[in-house]
Structure formats: structure tokens, C-alpha cells
Structure 1
Amino acid sequence: MSLVTKCPSCLTRFIIKPEQLESHEGQVRCGQCQHIFIADDYISATAEPEEFLRAKKKAALISKPIVFVILGLSILLAIFQSLYFLRTEIAKQWPAFKPALKSSCEYLGCSIPLPQHAELIVIDDAELIRDMTHEGLIKFNCLIVNNAPFIQSFPSIELTLTDKHDVALLRRKISPIEYLSGLEKRPDDGFAGNDEIQVRLNLKTADLPVAGFRAFIVY
């Protein structure tokens, strides 16, 4: 075992061997300031370099698998987080993965909501028709077209009735449940890609002087 001693004059530390102490009756000369002193008075034991290297190598061998395990778990966690937060986009872009995603969500207690890209859905052929047989009743007809190549969630229609000066008189948000009533479609079925829905609604306006309207797709 090697020993470490410290020069009391210049405080320099250096390694000595036990046999060196035996041959000089414990006296050593500092290589820095040439001061001679009794090494035993300022000595401390240290591990042999070989022992230190073996211990360091053993610690490295133990720590490497742990590092790889932690790294692997971190990668898996990142993958699962990406799948969770991007599950809607993944199901949209790669429909073949949707059954697997749904099975995973059933286990995790989550769901896969349908995409909601309002900019890809348009209102066409919209019109207001006053019902001459029923006072205070008008008919709102329009065609909703999903221009996306993928299925989407059915949107709502924000309808604003205006007077002849384009001042808003009444604003309503028409839900899918309302405009799909009577059709062979349910809101949960989703709005198929490149599909269209004919909307026909009766609206009560009482005595409001309705002269126009504005209609927008919203989610």
C-alpha cells in the first residue's frame, strides 16, 4: 500500500513507499523545498493505483447498464408521450394504426377525437326563406361540404341574422345534433372526407326584421 505524506515546510504532498521509510529511519526529503522531516508525523494511507483502477473499472461496469436502462426508459417514455399527444394526427394520417390506438386508449382511459379543421369545411348554397304559412318562422337551408380527404368531427354552424343595415339581430350556434336530426347520420359517426350534408332548419324569429344573415363553420 502506498502512503501520502506532506512536507511541513512547503505543504507539498507526495507518495512514498513503506520500504523507503524503513531504509531511512522514517526520514524523507521534500523534492520541492529539500526540507528533511519525519514522514510518519505527516502521513496518511491511500489505496494502491491498481486497487483504485480496479474499483473504478468495477464501478464503471456497474453504472453502464444502469445508464443504458435509464436511456432506454427515457426513449420509450418519449415515444409513448408522442403517441398519446399526437394520437389524433396519427389516426388521421395513418388510418391503419387507428385500431391499435383505440385499443391502447381503452386501456389508458383516453379517446381518439376526430380532427377539427374548420378551414377545410365550407358552407355552400345557403339561403333564408320566409315561411309564408307560419308567421315569425323562417327556413335556413345550406350545404356543408367537407373538403378534407379524411374524416372529421361534425362542426357547429354559427348563424347570425341581420337587418337591412347588416346589424346583428340574433346569433345562434347550431350544433350537429340539431342539424343532423332526421338524417341517417349521428354526430359520433364523423363527417366523412369529401362528403356533404344538406341542412334544413326552421328558425323562430318572432317580430325581428330579418333581412340577411351570416353563417360560419366553428368548433
Structure 2
Amino acid sequence: MYTQCPECLTVYKLEAELLVPACGCLRCCHCDAVFNALGTLATHLPPEPFTRLAEHALDQEPPMADVAVFRPRPAVEAAAEPVEAVPTADDSVAVEEPGEDFSQLTFTPRFAKPRRRSWRTAAWVAVCTVLVIGLGAQLAWAKRDVLIADPTVGPLIETGCAAIGCRLPLVSAPARLRLLARDVEQHPSVRDGLLITASVHNDAAFAQPYPIVTIVLSDTNGQRLAMRRFQPEDYVGDAATRARGLAGGATTAMVFEVQDPGQRAVAFAFSFD
């Protein structure tokens, strides 16, 4: 809204709250004159150029306010107290019992009953559980060699597998095979053959397959004269024994038959793969 000082003709922009304290009167900050802002109060400014705002007559009858938006309900008047009648000797007096007082009662809130899980929720939980178990089983199978060879997890897996009657897969660790003793002699039944025996200990705590054994014969100068690689079936004839593997911490004897390369073979070496 806008209003104009009648002394210096300065136009001011103002809010309705500014008119409340002095019943519509304002003080001009330019000429310090006090004037009734309602006389020239306008919602919009007229087109420029202008000198004065339109003035309103302030001595007319108050207009009627006819658009009501709220009216509080009237307060309920207290009913007049009845006058008590004085009973006579002939009249029977009706004694009213005092009403029950509920002001001291304590009301306990009724808690909502827990909702039962629907079969869909239970089915979803079961499916997620099966998927998690399946994923864990796949990861364990992919890392089975590492888990079985682990000194902490391996014995636990072996104990659990023995309880349910399963057999763990063999884990190859040729670096943990230790050669305890070896010997070479003429073959008792083959004229130009040699019989080589070796005692091998499995230092690992888990069973591992019988290794591929490589035997190298050399002369005094260290030059190789002969070499042969023995597969597990070449020196372990029993298939069931090969399937069980070399148990953890066990010692086994291995016997190999090789052809005699001549008198120059004075040394031989073992390696496991």
C-alpha cells in the first residue's frame, strides 16, 4: 500500500501493521509532519507523472463488513443452581446416592499386537538364506586348497568332514615333502637294472597326493647320465592307496626301478613335483 504526506508530498510505501499503533497516523521522515495516512491510502500508484494521490473523505459512515470468515462459539452459560426444597414430616425424602468419581482412574494404553510375518516374508528370508549359503559354498570350493592347507581352518574342516562321512580333496604341496633316506642297489632279478628306495615324510598337516618323482643319475663331474620321471601309478600299484594320498605327518617308502647307465653313474638326486 501507498500513502502521501500532505505537507511535502512525499509518497511512502507501507504495510498495514504500520497503521495500527497510532490509529492510522504517521510521521513524515522528510518534513517531520504528522498526518493521517488513511486519507491518501492507495493500493497502487497512479500512472506517472503525478503530483498528489487521491484523497479519501474520513467523515463518512463506516462501511458494512459483510464477508465473515470466522466467528467464535458463544460460551455456555452456567445453569442456575436449583433451590433445594425443605422436606416436611409428611413427605418422604428421596436421598440421592453420590455419583461415581472417575477422576482418579488410570487408563492403561492398549499396545498394538505385533504383526505376524506373512508367508511371503518367510519365503523371501528362506530364499536369501539359501542363496547366501550357496555363495559361501562356491567360494569355499574355489578356495578349497587354501582353506585345507591353512593350519587353523584345515583341521576344523577335516574334523567336520569326518563327522559327516565325506572325504576332503587332496591338496598338492610338494615343497612340504622331505626326503629322509635313500639307497640304490643292483636289481635282484634284472641284470642291468637298479633298485632305488627312498623314505619320504609329509611335513604338512593335511593329506596330499603322491608326487611326481624325478630321479637324475650323474657321474663324478656332475654331468647327467640319465633322468626319469615317475608318475604315482609307476611306484604305487594300489589304486585305493593312491586315492587316499599321503596322510599328513606320515612317512612312506618308495621303490623305483631304473636301468643301469653304467659304471660312471655314481650319484643320483630326487625332486618332487
* SS of residue matched to 1:209: coil
Q: Deviations over 1:112-148 (max 9, x none)?
A: 5301111221112112223487542111111011122
Q: Deviations over 1:18-47 (max 9, x none)?
A: xxxxxxxxxxxxxxxxxxxxxxxxxxxxxx
Match in the other structure for 2:137: 80
Mark the CA change 1:99 to 1:197 in structure 2 (over 3 Å): closer, same or farther.
Answer: closer
**2:265 counterpart of 1:210:** yes
Distance in 2 (alpha carbons) for counterparts of 1:100 and 1:179: 32
What count of residue pairs does the alignment treat as equivalent? 146
Question: Gaps (5+ residues) in structure 1?
Answer: 1-67, 104-110
Letter in 1 for 2:258: L
TM-score, normalising length from structure 2? 0.43
Mark the CA change 1:70 to 1:102 in structure 2 (over 3 Å): closer, same or farther.
Answer: same
Quote the sequence identity (%): 15
Give the superposed CA RMSD. 3.7
Structure whose residues are more often strand by fraction: 1
Does the 8 Å contact 1:123/1:216 carry over to 2? Answer: no
Does the 8 Å contact 1:159/1:173 carry over to 2? Answer: yes
* SS of residue matched to 2:221: coil
**2:204 counterpart of 1:148:** yes
Name which structure has the greater RCO, CA cutoff 8 Å, separation 6+. 1
Mark the CA change 1:133 to 1:69 in structure 2 (over 3 Å): closer, same or farther.
Answer: closer
Aligned with 1:193 (options 248, 253, 256):
248
Distance in 2 (alpha carbons) for counterparts of 1:73 and 1:157: 44
* SS of residue matched to 1:186: helix
TM-score, normalising length from structure 1? 0.53
Distance in 1 (alpha carbons) for counterparts of 2:221 and 2:240: 38
Deviation, 1:184, is 9.6
Distance in 2 (alpha carbons) for counterparts of 1:85 and 1:208: 51
Structure whose residues are more often helix by fraction: 1
Mark the CA change 1:121 to 1:134 in structure 2 (over 3 Å): closer, same or farther.
Answer: same
